Chain A
């Protein structure tokens, strides 16, 4: 979607074109273009591969004077015949990029490159974009004589795509993390699920620079893919990842681990997370106990509203579980609950016990239907879970319930072979 002033050249028409010497004689045929990735901006052409007298030769950029569709002209009359060797960060456009998947960062989706667009920018030929439309496809399909007639379509600017390079032996590029960080963890997880295993691995590697984001991504991945990517990691690495997750998500993930690894990994968790995850693992995942998160704010009834607000302010927990503040008696029994807005509106001097209402609660063994019914009937976003003594042991937030009650068709990936 850019307006690039110089004429756009299509890779499909450069490759397979003639290679001319400076004095105008044909010396061979162009096989592939080489570009260098890994720098900002549009990747420059650093050379080309050509067939000359039945041999494949490498032509460095400084021997090229002009690149046109159908013809590349050399800068010298004589060609220095050198075999091709891959240099770091260089890719072959046709072999390594064309026809393969790329991440369209702006669209948060995977696209396949039907053609690659080049242009002369800042004095040299560079890749400026990728054609993912039908025009690019038609140009490749038609015979050469007709292909030139296919007009160029709007194409994706190179700045908004990111190629996978895991299959190129000499390129050890990491997808730049800041670009992926623009996407929501759920979008990243979708990309990982849609990509092949090695491509998904590249995305996760890139995100790994930011462990928090990586943990969020893993939270969003569906169970099968979580297992797929955790398999290759050591127990310590898995534990480090779990430590950054919310306790209930971490417990869910631990349940997916193979039996023999589970205990070792939980053992590696930091003390607080270890305690929380263990507590949650004791509950059946299909019950309130398994759904709940142990992260909540609960204050004594005698505490003032201001003190309660201060507790919320200092609590590092996720915002959705802090939407309610719970109130307990001096025997630690749950006796009240109040929403954060109500708390803000209340007189800061009053004891919380005076402003809180009687909370709805469920036992840890309540099943999902009971929880969902309670939430709908009382319009709740958070439900308290209490033990038989009436003590608050956890809270269930609406997102955890919604995830499970969503009708199957709504959640389904478009792949019909995909998961329910």
Chain B
């Protein structure tokens, strides 16, 4: 009897030791790699999670349909993204509270329920699109979505609910490293760099619903509510205080610029090939990857697909977590306090339901993928102003933020971002409703 107990203890110990990172000095190379990964903070992760399945699809179709005509917009969107993400990071660092928590404390139950419901709707849509992205990326490798999607769902679920999310996050970011492939793909596509440069600085506006639609979808996919919610909660969780704000700001800027450079290169890659050759119907990332192959080579297709897979998994993990945090903060369910997940049923329930619905919808046979992805981006574009409005008002609140509140110039910039995106959303709704 005692022997078997001891054997059990020993096997548990062996398992524990096997899983624990070794405390002996690591080889210099792995040490350096780990140091690099440790630098990947919330600012970088949040911005790059935005280049998810829906994002890649949107950028690819922007390039295929309008060539470089919308590149100038990426400059504006980058600035807006920096403004918005900086506010979220600053609020997290100064107040030590999540965005949903602050909305609840400052605006009460009704407003916070409203914003939470809108975030849940938006997140559910994106969650579906991430699983669609996973299915599409792996179908390029010949794996049917009925296999890849459930496997991805189970992997993401177990990482989020049972495993160590922090290390999973890093693996996913590593998988998104093929993002660097997009510049390569763009170069392989031999764009006319002169035109690219002039399109970036010279605005080009068309007033038709197709153009407007993609305009709002691009804004909606680049600046997504979950990115701000995630960033602020992550800043809080990592205990980043006001004194570490300069570093966090730098990371927000670098992350936003990097993410949008990648987006711009996707537009350039498809603009230089599909647009030029008159193939303008592409609307999903996998389509884009396939369509790119004849012009930019088979490698471009593979790189595109791997980037899509990593980005979709990263976002598929972050989204349910963000949603669970928002629900916990809004409704006052306890979070933290070292409770294991099974002691926090609400958290597990939200994560499970989101992943389950995302998976199931993504597997529906004959799903109109393209229409769905774009619709999701539009829903996000329309709901975005709600989150942005609270973000702007809270970050300007002197009572809450003290000397870290928005200055006058910054507040103006933030207000402009909020009102322009809101205006665009309303315009889009009106245009769609009028059936133009």
Contacts and interface: CB of A to CB of B under 8 A. Distances in A.
A225 B338 CA distance: 14
B20 A405 contact: yes
B243 interface: yes
B336 interface: yes
B127 to A, nearest CB: 15
B19 A407 contact: yes
A30 interface: no
A257 B332 CA distance: 35
Interface string A300-326: 000000000000000000000000000
Contact of A110 (B162, B233, B337): B337
B164 A132 contact: no
Nearest to A287: B23
A419 interface: yes
B333 to A, nearest CB: 8
Interface in B132-165: 160-165
Given A140-B109, A196-B97, A191 B337 contact: yes
A413 B239 CA distance: 14
A194 B108 contact: no
B334 interface: yes
A235 interface: no
User: Range of interface residues on chain B?
Assistant: 35 or more
Interface in A196-239: 196-200, 224-225, 227-228, 231
B360 interface: no
A108 B339 CA distance: 12
B332 A114 contact: yes
A225 B6 CA distance: 37
A420 B96 contact: no
Interface string B1-36: 000001001100101110110011000000000000
B109 A420 contact: no
Contact of B17 (A100, A191, A196, A372): A372
Interface residues of A, number: 55
Interface string B347-382: 100000000000000000000000000000000000
Nearest to A98: B108
Nearest to B10: A376
B279 interface: no
Contacts, number: 134
B332 A132 contact: yes
A417 B234 contact: yes
Given A137-B331, A413-B336, A99 B108 contact: yes
A224 B238 contact: yes
B237 A418 contact: yes
A43 B284 CA distance: 61
A367 B25 CA distance: 11
A113 B104 CA distance: 11
A110 B109 contact: no
Nearest to A373: B13
B167 interface: yes
Contacts of B347: 414, 416
B403 interface: no
Contacts of B344: 414
A261 interface: no
A78 interface: no
A409 interface: yes
Contacts of B19: 407-408
B227 to A, nearest CB: 14
B239 A417 contact: no
The listed residue with most B CB atoms (<10 A of its CB), out of A110, A194, A197, is: A197
B194 to A, nearest CB: 45
Contact of B332 (A108, A137, A196): A137
Contact of B9 (A98, A376, A415): A376
Nearest to A133: B332
Given A137-B331, A376-B13, A420-B166, A190 B113 contact: no
A110 B104 CA distance: 15
Interface string A257-300: 00000000000000000000000000000110000000000000
A140 B167 CA distance: 40
Contacts of B241: 197, 228, 231
Given A112-B104, A409-B163, 7 more contacts: A99-B109, A111-B332, A196-B95, A228-B239, A407-B19, A417-B166, A419-B166
Q: Which 10 A-B pairs have the closest CB atoms?
A: A112-B332, A196-B96, A286-B23, A194-B336, A140-B109, A417-B237, A197-B96, A416-B165, A414-B339, A194-B337
11 contacts: A113-B332, A193-B336, A197-B96, A376-B6, A404-B23, A405-B16, A407-B20, A414-B337, A416-B161, A417-B165, A420-B167
Interface of A: 98-100, 108-114, 132, 134, 137, 140-141, 190-191, 193-200, 224-225, 227-228, 231, 286-287, 367-369, 372-373, 376-377, 379, 404-409, 412-420
